[in-house]
Structure 1
Amino acid sequence: MNSAKGTAIVYDWIDKWGGVERVLLALSEIFPEADFFTSYYDKEGAAWAKNLKIKTSFVDKLPRFIKKGRITSFPFYSYVFESFDFSAYDLVVSVTSSFAKSVITKPGTQHLCYLLTPTRYLWIQPENYFQNNFIFSLIKPYINCIKNWDLVVAQRPDKIISISQTVADRCQRYYKRKSKVVYPPFDVEYWKQVQSAKFPSARAQGEGKVQSYSSKFKVVENKRYFLVVSRLEPYKKIDLVINVFNQLALQSKNRSHQDCTSLIIVGGGSQEKKLKKIAGGNIYFYNKLTDEELGCLYSRAQALIMPQEEDFGYVSLEAQFFGCPVIAYKKGGATETVIAGKTGLFFDSQTKESLIKALERFEAKSYNIRTNTKKFGPENVERFDKRIFNKKFNETISNITTQNSNPKTQN
C-alpha cells in the first residue's frame, strides 16, 4: 500500500531481536519506503534493522546505562514521541507496548496503532517490573500520573488494531477503546526454508528426525529435555520453571536415577544472572541462537513450556511448526494459539504444584500429544500465516485512508 506523501512506522525502541521485530520486518515489506522512528537504536543488539531508514530521538544520545534502563529512562518517555514531526507523512503506523502511540499527528495524517499490549508496567502488575520495593514506593505517585497521561494519549490513534483477543480485551478495559484483532505474521514459507536447510533429509527419514545437531547442544544430545524460549524478565516467570525442575532433579536423585529430565532455557535479559544462580545442574542456558539452531531444539524437545501470561506468544507457533507440544499457562495469548489435546496442554495457576501436575499429565499422554502436534501443529500455524496478516493489514489501511475523516482534536 503506497501513501501519496509517505509512511512512518514508529516503535518504542529498536534494540533486540524477537517476535515483535519480526512484525517490524513484515511491515517494512508492506511499506518498503517507510521511515522508522524510535526512541533509540542499538545497532549491535538489532543488527537485523541495518537496512531500515531509522530516525531516533534525543534519548539515543543519552549514556547507554540511562537509555537501556527501564527505570532510568522512564522520565523521558512521556516526551520522546511527542517530539517527532510527522507533517511529511499521510500515514503513521505505531507499533507499541509502551509510548509510541503518543505521537501527535495533524489533520490529514492517519494514525494506525498496532497494539502489542497496554503498557504493562503501568496497568498490569507494575510491581513485577520494579524489583526494588523501595524504588517502587518512591516512583508510584509518578507512575499514577503517567497512567493518566497514557490513557489520554491512547485516544490519539484514529484506529487501534490489537495483536490478540487478549490484548483487545485489555485495550477495552484500560483504554476504553474497541479494537480489531489482526494476529502477528508467522512466515510459514520462511520456516519451511529453515527446516529444509537445517534438516535436508528429515522428511525422507520421517517424523522430523534431526540429522545434524549443533555442537552447542552436545551436552543434552542424549538427554530428555523440556524447553523455554523467552526473554529473561521478571514478568516472564522463568524462575517458576527453574524451581520446578530443581525439585524434579532432587526427586530423581533421591530415587537414584542418574538421568533426570533436563531443561534448556533460550534467551537473555535483566534476570539472566539471577536465574543462572538459582538453576541446578540439569538446567542449561543459551542465548542468541540462529533460527536453524532453534529448529534443532524444538525438534528434539519433549515440549515447550510457557509459564507467563503472553500477549500473543510467537514462540508457541515456532514450536508447533516443528512438531513440539506446548505446555502453557491457561491465560493470555497462548489460549488463542495452542489447541488443548492437539498441540499442547494448559496449567491453571502459576504455581509449582500446578505446573508439576501439568508435567505429570503430559508424561502420562506424551506419545499422543507429541503425535498429535506433529500432525496438527503445522496445520494450526497456517491460521497465522504472513499472507493473512498482509491481507488484513492492507485492508485496514485502505479503510482508514479512504474514509472522509473529520478534523481531529489533538489530546
Structure 2
Amino acid sequence: MAREPLVIAHDYLTQRGGAERVVLALARAFAGAPIQTTLFEPGDTYPEFGDVEVRTTPLDRIALLRRHHRLALPLLAAAVQRTRIDADVVIASSSGWAHGFRTTGRKIVYCYSPARWLYQPGAYLGQHASRSTRLALAVLGPWLRRWDRRQARSADAYIACSSVARDRVRAVYGIEAEVVHPPHSSGAGGSEHRPAGLSDTALDGAGGFDLCVSRLLPYKNVDAVVTAFATLPHRLVVVGAGPEQARLRAMAPPNVVFLQHLTDAEMRWLYARCASIVAASFEDFGLIPVEAASFGKPSVALRWGGFLDTIVEGVTGILFDEPTPTAIADAMRRCRSMRWDAEAIRAHAAGFSEEAFLERLTAAIERATGALPRASRGRP
C-alpha cells in the first residue's frame, strides 16, 4: 500500500463531545483522509463518521470495550503502540492515547489535555470511583506515565486547544505548544427538532429553562448544578451521559430533566429556546459557551481554565468563583437580572468558526513543520 499524504488519528470514537467535533472538522477539511482510532462504536458517536473511512485496532472486535471504553484502559497503550500509520503527516487529536500511534512521517498532536486520569486522577475519577479502577491506576500509573511522556516526545509539534491546556502540556511534557481554539459546530440557523423525551410538563415553569450540556463525569460538577436548581424557580435540562448518571438522577429535584444522545437538530432546538447555559466543570477549553453564543445565549460558568478563553464576562456571560450550589445559584440569579445583547454574543462566537479554526490550525502546522500537504486539503 502506498504511503498516504495525511491521516487523522483520535483516541476512540465511542462518544459525542467537543473532541469528536474537532475530528469531524478535520475530516471535512482533509477530504478523503482516513481516521485511525482504537475503538469505534457508530451508535454512540456522531453519525457523520459513517461517511469517513475509520480504521481501528484489534481491540475493536470486543463489543464490551466498544460500549465501555474505560474498561480498555490496561490494553490501550499496547494497542496504540502496535499500530503503525504509514503517512506523510498524522494529525493526532489526543487527550491520552492518539499521540502514541507510531508513524512513518511527521506527527502533529492537537492536544485537549495530557491524560487527566494519569495526572489528575482525583479530579477526574472523583470520590465515587470503584476500588478496582483505583487499584488499576495505582498499579499501571507509573508505567503509563513513562509511556505517555515518551510518546509525547515522539511528536514533531504540539498544538493546544486552550491556554490552560498549553500550560499543562508545558508542565507535564516540557513542550511549548501553540494555542489554536477548537471550533463550534452548533449550526445555528439549521433545522431544529424538539427532543422526543422532552414533555410540555418538563418545560412548564417560571422563566423558561436553562441548559447544561456535559458528559456526566465527576470533574464536570454537574451534581453542584443540579443541587443549585433545587433553590431556583426555573427548569434545568441536562444533556449528557456518563458514569454519574444514576447518582445524578437520584439526587435531582423535580425541576431538573435529563436527556442524552440527542441529534444536532435537537440540540439546536434546545440552544434556540433556553434562557442560558450553565457549566461548573474544570474545562480545558469550554466549547459549550461558544455553541450557545452562536444562538445569542449567555453562559454562566466556572471562572477556570478554558472558560476564560471563551467567555467575555459581562458581554457573553457570567463567571462564578467556585463550583458550589450556592455560587451557581447566585450567578444564575444575576444572569436572569441582566439584559443581554444577543448580537454582541453572536459576534463573539463568529471568532470560533470552523473556517477560523482550520485557517489557524494549518498555519500553526506549517510554521512548526512545513509539512502539511496542500493537495490533501478539502473545503472547510
Q: Is TM-score (shorter-chain normalized) higher than 0.5? A: yes
Q: Decide whether aligned partners of structure 1 residues 155 and 389 sit closer, same or farther in structure 2, where only a CA change above 3 A counts.
A: same
Structure-2 residue corresponding to 1:50: 50
Number of residue-to-residue matches in the alignment: 364
**TM-score after normalising by structure 2:** 0.89
2:376 corresponding residue in structure 1: none
1:287 is aligned to 260
Give the Cα separation in 1 of the matches to 2:225 and 2:84. 45
Matches of 1:334 and 1:18 in 2, distance apart?
A: 16
- 1:61 alignment counterpart: 61
The CA deviation string for residues 120-142 of structure 1, in whole angstroms up to 9 with x for no partner, is 11112446426336335523142
**2:285 and 2:73 mapped to 1: Cα distance?**
25
Shift of residue 146, structure 1, vs aligned partner: 1.2
- What residue number does 1:159 align with? 157
- The answer to whether the 8 Å contact 1:96/1:116 transfers is yes
The answer for the alignment partner of 2:90 in structure 1 is 92
Cα offsets for 1:245-273 (capped at 9, x unmatched): 12x16xxxxxxxxxx32211111222212
Q: In structure 2, the residue corresponding to 1:193 is in which secondary structure?
A: coil
Which of 329, 337, 352 aligns to 2:310? It is: 337
Matches within 5 A, 1:216-255: 216-223=198-205, 224-246=208-230, 248=231
Is the Cα–Cα contact under 8 Å of residues 188 and 268 in structure 2 kept in the other structure?
no
Q: Which residue of 1 aligns with 2:118?
A: 122
| Separation in 1, partners of 2:324, 2:170 | 29
Q: Which position in structure 2 is the counterpart of 1:386? A: 354
Partner AA of 1:132 in structure 2: A
Indicate if the aligned counterparts of 1:110 and 1:400 stay in contact, CA closer than 8 A. Answer: no
Deviations 1:148-188 (A, max 9, x none): 2212211111000111111111111111110011111234x
Aligned position for 1:31: 30
Distance 1:49 1:5, change over 3 A: closer
Contact 1:17 1:48 in 2 (8 A): no
1:15 and 1:95 mapped to 2: Cα distance? 14
User: Residues 68 and 394 from structure 1, CA distance in 2 versus in 1: closer, same or farther, beyond 3 angstroms?
Assistant: same
Alignment of 1:201-350 (within 5 A): 216-223=198-205, 224-246=208-230, 248=231, 260-350=233-323
**In structure 2, do the counterparts of structure 1 residues 328 and 6 end up closer, same or farther at CA, with 3 Å as the change threshold?**
same
Query: Structure 1 residue 171 and structure 2 residue 169: aligned?
Result: yes
Correspondence 1:110 to 2:106: yes
Q: Which of the two has higher C-alpha Rg?
A: 1
- Given residue 375 of structure 1, which amino acid in structure 2 is its aligned partner? E
Counterpart contact for 1:325–1:343, Cα < 8 Å: yes
Instruction: Report which structure shows greater RCO (CA 8 Å, sep ≥6).
Output: 2
User: 2:39–2:69: 8 Å Cα contact kept in structure 1?
Assistant: no
RMSD between aligned residues: 2.3
Q: Deviations over 1:85-140 (max 9, x none)?
A: 223x111111011111012224xx11000001110111124464263363355231
Residue in structure 2 matched with residue 150 of structure 1 by the alignment: 148
Q: CA deviation at 1:68?
A: 4.0
Q: Which stretch has the larger CA shift, 130-139 or 174-183? A: 130-139
Q: Which runs of 5+ in 1 are unaligned?
A: 199-211, 250-259, 404-411
Cα distance change of structure 1 residues 128 and 397 upon mapping to structure 2, 3 Å threshold: closer
Query: How far did 1:315 drift?
Result: 1.3
d(CA) in 2 for partners of 1:10, 1:83: 14
Whether 1:138 and 2:135 are equivalent positions in the alignment is: yes
Conserved in 1, the CA contact under 8 Å of 2:37 and 2:54?
yes
Relative to structure 1, the CA distance from residue 16 to residue 138 in structure 2 (aligned partners, 3 Å threshold; closer, same or farther) is closer
Q: 1:178 to 1:17 in 2, by over 3 A?
A: same
TM-score, with normalisation over the residues of structure 1? 0.82
Amino acid aligned to 1:16 = Q
Give the 3 Å change call, closer, same or farther, for CA 70–314 of structure 1 in structure 2: same
Q: Distance in 2 between matches of 1:244 and 1:379?
A: 30
On the 8 A contact 2:217/2:244 being kept in 1, the answer is yes
Shift of 1:17: 2.4
- 2:76 paired residue number: 77
Partner Cα distance (2:253, 2:79) in 1:
42
Percent of pairs identical after alignment? 25
Q: Paired residue for 2:378?
A: none
2:374 equivalent in structure 1? none
